[in-house]
Amino acid sequence: MSKVISVISGKGGVGKTTVTANVGVALSLLGHKTVIIDTDLGLRNLDLALGLENNVIYDMVDLAMGECRLREAVIKDERYGALGFIPTSQFKTDNNIDFERFKKIILELKRQYEYIIIDSPAGIGEGFETAAKLSDMALIVVNPEPFSLRDADRVAGLLENLGVKDMRLIINRVRPQMIDRGIMLNLDSVIEALGVRLVGVLYEDESVIEAAIFGMPVVLNKKSKIADEFNSIAKRINGENVPIENIKKKSVWRKLLKKK
Ligand SMILES: Nc1ncnc2c1ncn2[C@@H]1O[C@H](COP(=O)(O)OP(=O)(O)OP(=O)(O)O)[C@@H](O)[C@H]1O
Ligand SMILES: [Mg+2]
């Protein structure tokens, strides 16, 4: 059975594209046939995150308007195993991809792929709604700060109204030292405030920024700690029981340090 997952946040810039690229690559390298779709019309980034910007010929708008076939729109790269990628349009912002056209594309993809991951636009506009309505699961990405939290809460309510029952939370850009100093929301308060099941905690990690510069998702960087967590998130999404250890480990570690 295939699963459509939209990556959403409400607030912009919290890590949706980073999560989409890395979870998509991780699922694919775990052997699951996966396609990732950029639906952020006019603000194309996912191609850069994957280092595939020079491979773009057709985009989502071309596909929706029937100007190319699905197999022509899906970009593949041997580094990413069975991963397919459909870029968004950089300039054709006026040609909105309406719900029926998008639904047709998703149904076609469902026949070919196990996971269809949609990098949704920030905000709660038409793009968000179209993606949400067709999703079996929503990954809500939040940063541990009040603006992101409030927007994620609003989005969780809207998702519920749109019929998305399976919501999972990814807390991104966590900085334990700031939490210790009381200037960043702690993880428990984020989880409690949103009431959404946690699927992963990602720390602030400069290898994410480095990866973006080199156009290589950080999950491929074996030296980076955050790569392990992206792999674990992919496994949890796939139903595997991978404990979320880093919260406890960090807090035990911090408690021990404080006792000295
Ligand atoms: N865990 C992390 N550690 C360090 N930097 C990160 C992390 N996650 C994301 N970033 C950086 O934060 C910036 C925003 O991330 P990203 O583009 O994935 O967010 P987004 O939610 O897709 O933004 P938009 O709403 O504009 O589409 C990028 O420069 C990215 O490299
Ligand atoms: Mg983005």
pLDDT tens per residue across all 260 residues of the chain: 899 999 999 899 999 999 999 999 999 999 999 999 998 877 888 999 999 999 999 999 999 989 999 999 999 998 998 899 999 887 776 666 788 989 999 999 999 999 999 999 888 888 888 899 999 999 999 999 999 999 999 999 999 999 999 999 999 999 999 999 999 999 999 999 999 999 999 999 999 999 989 989 999 999 999 999 999 999 999 999 999 975 544 544 444 444 33
Ligand nearest to the CA of 201: 1
pTM of the model: 0.93
Query: How many CA within 13 A on the CB side of residue 112?
Result: 14
Please say whether the beta carbons of 246 and 36 come within 8 A: no
Q: Atom of ligand 1 at shortest distance to CA of 40?
A: 27
- What distance separates the 2 farthest-apart alpha carbons in the chain? 66
What gap in Å lies between CA 67 and CA 256, rounded to an integer? Answer: 61
Cβ–ligand 1 distance for 63 under 6 Å, the answer no
Rounded to the nearest whole angstrom, what is the distance from the C-alpha of residue 20 to the centroid of ligand 1? 11
Rounded to the nearest whole angstrom, what is the distance from the C-alpha of residue 52 to the centroid of ligand 2? 15
Amino acid at residue number 213: I
Ion ligand 2 residues within 5 Å by Cβ: 16-17, 45
Cβ–ligand 1 distance for 252 under 6 Å, the answer no
SS3 127: helix
Please say whether the beta carbons of 74 and 58 come within 8 A: no
Q: Which residue is associated with the tokens 């030296």?
A: 223
Cβ–ligand 1 distance for 88 under 6 Å, the answer no
Q: Atom of ligand 1 at shortest distance to CA of 172?
A: 1
What gap in Å lies between CA 34 and CA 234, rounded to an integer? Answer: 11
SS3 10: coil
Architecture of domain 3-259: 3-Layer(aba) Sandwich (3.40)
Please say whether the beta carbons of 189 and 159 come within 8 A: no
Both tokens of 210, joined, read: 């480095």
Amino acid at residue number 123: G
Domain parsing of the chain, residue ranges: 3-259
Q: Whose CA is nearest to atom 15 of ligand 1?
A: 15
Rounded to the nearest whole angstrom, what is the distance from the C-alpha of residue 184 to the centroid of ligand 2? 23
* Cα 108 to Cα 71, 102, 127, 151, 183, distances in angstroms: 11, 10, 19, 32, 47
Terminal Cα-to-Cα distance of the chain (whole angstroms): 52
